[in-house]
A and B are shown apart, each in its own frame.
Chain A
Amino acid sequence: MKFEGYRRKDGKVGVRNHVLFLSSVVCANGIIHRIGCEFPEVMTIEHTKGCVDLADDREIVRNMLIGLARNPNVGAVVFVGLGCEDTTAEYLYERLEGAKPVAAVSIQNEGGTSKTLEKCRPLAKKFLKETKKQTRETFGPDELVISTKCGGTDWTSAIAPNPSVGIVSDRVVQAGGTSLLGETGGWFGGEEVLLSRSRNEQTKMRILRLLHKRYDEAERRGTKVEKSNPSPGNIAGGITTLKEKALGNILKSGESPIEGVLGVGQYPPGHGLWVMDNYGIDPASVAGMAAAGAQIVLFTTGRGTPTGSPICPVIKICSSPMGMEALRENIDIDLSDIVTEAASLGSGADRIETFMYQVASGKLTKAEILGHREFVMPGVGIL
């Protein structure tokens, strides 16, 4: 299958052509918010970090901001900072220069809110005009980077949408494309399956280290990961243990071998299936996928959830009859016939794949139509 995407200066291919205004630090959120109100077509990301973070969190924030701006769905980016922060707009600008049209604005340099807005408005207009001129070109699956995600999981997730998405992930990989598995905290109990599919010992080691890091952090805080996961909704939906949830969760990655492990904001250095150091709560997880270069997120759900992204189209796939009844408005692909009429997983995969290529060529997802652009900056302490 083919899709119509946008070629970037750095060679990457996007499925959207967003103009992104990105806070380098929490102090710039007011400006970013105003630009978002004045220019609804502009994607904006506000967050609560960027200064006086501990070193490990600072590294996550920097890698996230650079990774988000690099995402090929972003046609042009404007960093807005304060000026005295840890991670300045200029610092980020230098790391993006040449990859795509980019600008940096600092409130202290401009001399206050009004002057900063006066600087930002023409940039928004100029970049919107420029990105609209660009046309889509045809690309094959080797230019596709998808990420697989589940949220609002219930008993149906492991039976229908997760294995169907796993088939799609395998097809993308076999066609020369790239697939990313996130939600590291959701692997506990399923790690042996991931280890058995790892290409090499280094990958196994890194998978275990990621789990160990999270487990240790929880213990250091006097708690255990299994006290936060599964969630109350998972339990009401029939999931009993984190291991049960994990075994269902990792079905989304299909059966392909795992090429390696990506750090936060790290782009896959080659094709195939990669697993990520990715933080749990849904918008933080999707944000991490966007910051690793995912163009599209395949998001399975049982109970239903509205989560979208300012950068990636998020395709919602549900096979719970109850979830469909409750959140039909938010679901792109209804696979409940796999549960109620024993339709095949292959037929589920076919439907997901067809829709995914349409979305890659510009078809809007429910989350995009409904205006869901949630964002959470990941950090240490988010499982």
Chain B
Amino acid sequence: MPRVLRIHPDDNVVNVLSDLNPDEVVDVEGEKIVVRSSIPMGHKMAVKNIHEGKPVIKYGQAIGYAQKDIQIGEHVHVHNVEDPISNWKAQYEILARGGNIN
């Protein structure tokens, strides 16, 4: 059974399918990745370096933004990801102005 699950080819994070520990090496579609932190089952691991302010991509979409530089193999969760919904209202206003929404 694979140890990680990548949902969309553009994703820079994967779901881990069992608890992972630091220094373990996992195979992500042929690429060997060294785990850098403890990651509980179902949580996300970075499979690319994600610089501060850059999108965390799952389902092929930005589910959040890196609050600090995240290294490949790191646990990606609430401690290092900002929720993009904080910008939702601005987005609504852009959509409202752009479309037939009054």
Beta-carbon contact of B64 and A205 below 8 Å: no
Contacts of A195 in B (CB 8 A): 95
Beta-carbon contact of A155 and B42 below 8 Å: yes
Decide yes or no: A237 and B85 within 8 Å by CB, A208-B96, A340-B1 being known contacts: no
A159 to B42, CA, bound (A): 11
A211 to B1, CA, bound (A): 40
Beta-carbon contact of A244 and B64 below 8 Å: yes
Beta-carbon contact of A208 and B101 below 8 Å: yes
Contacts of A241 in B (CB 8 A): 63-64, 81, 83-85
Within 8 A of B (CB), among A216-244: 224-226, 235, 237-238, 240-244
The 0/1 profile, CB within 8 Å of A marked 1, for residues 67-89 of chain B is 00000000011100101111011
Beta-carbon contact of A242 and B85 below 8 Å: yes
- A sample of 26 inter-chain contacts (CB < 8 A) reads A154-B42, A155-B42, A156-B42, A159-B5, A189-B63, A201-B99, A205-B101, A205-B102, A208-B92, A208-B96, A215-B89, A226-B85, A238-B40, A240-B64, A241-B83, A241-B84, A241-B85, A242-B83, A242-B85, A243-B64, A243-B85, A244-B58, A244-B64, A247-B59, A320-B42, A341-B1
Q: Whose C-beta in chain A lies nearest to the C-beta of B7? A: A159
Beta-carbon contact of A243 and B63 below 8 Å: yes
Beta-carbon contact of B85 and A189 below 8 Å: yes
| Nearest-Cβ distance from residue B47 to partner chain A, whole angstroms | 15
| Nearest-Cβ distance from residue A70 to partner chain B, whole angstroms | 31
| Nearest-Cβ distance from residue B56 to partner chain A, whole angstroms | 8
Contacts of A155 in B (CB 8 A): 15, 42-43
Lowest 6 CB-CB distances: which A-B pairs, in order? A155-B42, A238-B42, A244-B63, A241-B83, A238-B43, A241-B64
Beta-carbon contact of B64 and A204 below 8 Å: no
Q: Given known contacts A224-B86, A240-B56, what 6 new A-B pairs fall within 8 Å (CB)? A: A189-B88, A201-B100, A201-B101, A205-B102, A215-B89, A243-B64
Q: How many residues of B contact A (CB 8 A)?
A: 34
Beta-carbon contact of A240 and B101 below 8 Å: no
A241 to B57, CA, bound (A): 12
Contacts of B85 in A (CB 8 A): 188-189, 224-226, 241-243
Partner of B15, one of A159, A188, A242, A322: A159
A243 to B81, CA, bound (A): 12
B21 CB within 8 Å of chain A? no
Beta-carbon contact of B42 and A237 below 8 Å: yes
Beta-carbon contact of B59 and A240 below 8 Å: no
A156 to B88, CA, bound (A): 26
Beta-carbon contact of B58 and A211 below 8 Å: no
| Nearest-Cβ distance from residue A164 to partner chain B, whole angstroms | 15
Beta-carbon contact of A238 and B44 below 8 Å: yes
Beta-carbon contact of A247 and B63 below 8 Å: yes
A224 to B17, CA, bound (A): 32
B49 CB within 8 Å of chain A? no
Beta-carbon contact of B61 and A247 below 8 Å: yes
Within 8 A of B (CB), among A293-322: 320, 322
Q: Whose C-beta in chain B lies nearest to the C-beta of A248? A: B59
| Nearest-Cβ distance from residue B79 to partner chain A, whole angstroms | 9
